[in-house]
Chain A
Amino acid sequence: MTAARSIPTCAFPERLVMRVLFAWLVFRATPRALIVNGIPSPNGITRIFDLHFLLDPQVFALARMVLAAALILYVLRIMVWLALPVALFMHTAANAITNSQGAIQHAMQIVSLVLLAQTVAHFYGLWRRRRGEGRSILEDRAIWWSQQTIVAVYLVAGITKLIVTKGLWIFQARWIGVSIVKSAYQSFYDTFDEATLQQQLAVAHFAATHGWIVALIAAGGLLLELGSPLMLINRAWSAILGVSLVCFHLALDYTMHLTFIYNQWLLIIFMINLPYWMVAGARRIRPPPAHIPMI
């Protein structure tokens, strides 16, 4: 029972808000329609399962309805053993198809991985329950594993930078201006937004002429990624580093138009966890009467 006791616990309102927001995020992170040309470059689970049936627009529309139903069950905590695997399959299959066009995007993996962690945590919890573990731990473990998965994504991104550049990432970051110009024009040809292009080109010009300042800022980003496991120490570390990472994403959005909106939402939902801090803050201002039990 050591492992169970070490899992941080969340109050019911926190768990409810997390469930509702995560279900909404999974639905939002699943494509509305598959605008693709077959599965020309199978990636991930498309190599294991034949997912061509999802390319039929009618089948896909039905799959989205099934996903919506699964997510409603997940929020209501009814038949979670069915809801989670169904949601995991639908969400992962749809995004694996869009990632099998020869162009791998990195926006959705974090959502799929959190969903995978929750599914595994749920079934592991069911197995532990047979061995006498308490019922209440089931959802707390899913949240705890979700938090670890979010941290894993940042840690892996940091480690990969060091592996690919043989530790020279910060040194190379002084050439980031070239990448900012590329991203600026790529965004421009998506939307033809001239004002944003000029703003990003100004940032690129600054980066090209002040390479070492930019390298120092980039070093801060890399430290955040490598230091992300600190978020697992306690709620305060989780919130402080969670806010720092959201700010890091907002800075990347401003300079390079790299939004990573799902990363930001997952940080807000599972790491920053606003409901806890709102309740804690309210209690600090107006402590509850002694006879009302604390949640």
Chain B
Amino acid sequence: MNFKSGLALVFGWIRHTRCQCLLVMVLLCLSLRENYPFSNFPMYSSFSRRTYYLYLADAKGQPLQTRDFGLASSALKKIFDRSRRLELKHFEQAGSERVALAEEAAGQSLLRYLDGLSAGRPRIRKLLAGLQVQHVLVRQDAHDVVLETRTLARHP
């Protein structure tokens, strides 16, 4: 079978299959990737020995419910991730300090986002004074999971 007849066979099958919608949706989702309403659904598509999460704390370091800011913690992390990616490019020449600097800058950017969110929402505005962004590194060490916490940014 040559290439031409193989191609004709594939197109013939696509024309007559009952599952044209399935094929089209799969192709659109894989090619358009993260473009709502399409997605290639990359959540948990890979795992590594280390990851991290964020939480918000008041001026005394007491954790606050992320929902009080109208957000889920997973969304908080994704907003931070986006800034972190941008800041990593910005600090490309910073050598070994690059990641730490980018994460601190992304923490500040997250506080600015929360500032914007508080406009016209006094309940959120009340929580902002002294607000801290805490970063917790989670890593697997042999059979133990170890957590390391540090403060990335503080609201004035």
Q: What residues of chain A have their CB less than 8 Å away from a CB belonging to chain B?
A: 2-3, 6-7, 35-38, 40-41, 43-47, 92, 95-96, 99-106, 108-109, 112-113, 116-117, 121, 144-145, 148-149, 151-153, 155-157, 159-161, 163-165, 169, 172-179, 181-182, 185-187, 189-192, 204-205, 208-209, 229, 232, 258
- Chain B, interface SS category: mixed
Q: Which of A99, A182, A185, A258 has the most B CB atoms < 10 Å from its CB?
A: A182
Question: Does B47 lie within 8 Å of A191, measured CB to CB?
Answer: no
Question: Does B41 lie within 8 Å of A106, measured CB to CB?
Answer: yes
Evaluate whether A116 and B47 lie within 8 angstroms (CB atoms) in the complex, with A37-B113, A152-B25, A152-B26 already known: no
Evaluate whether A169 and B26 lie within 8 angstroms (CB atoms) in the complex, with A102-B78, A104-B78, A190-B66 already known: no
CA–CA, A205 to B144, complex, Å? 8
Shortest beta-carbon distance, A31 to chain B, in Å? 11
CA–CA, A179 to B48, complex, Å? 8
Shortest beta-carbon distance, B33 to chain A, in Å? 9
CA–CA, A289 to B147, complex, Å? 68
Q: Which of B86-125 contact A (CB under 8 A)?
A: 113, 116-117, 119, 121
Question: Does A103 lie within 8 Å of B46, measured CB to CB?
Answer: no
| B77 contacts the other chain (CB 8 A) | yes
25 A-B Cβ contacts within 8 A? A37-B113, A41-B82, A44-B35, A45-B37, A46-B36, A92-B37, A95-B37, A100-B36, A101-B75, A102-B78, A102-B79, A103-B82, A121-B21, A153-B25, A156-B40, A163-B45, A175-B49, A178-B140, A182-B53, A189-B55, A189-B66, A190-B66, A190-B72, A192-B65, A209-B143
Question: Does A185 lie within 8 Å of B140, measured CB to CB?
Answer: no
Sorted from nearest, which 9 A-B pairs have the closest CB atoms? A44-B36, A103-B78, A112-B37, A152-B25, A102-B82, A35-B70, A186-B73, A37-B116, A157-B41
Query: Among B25, B35, B81, B138, which residue has its beta carbon within 8 angstroms of that of A117?
Result: B25
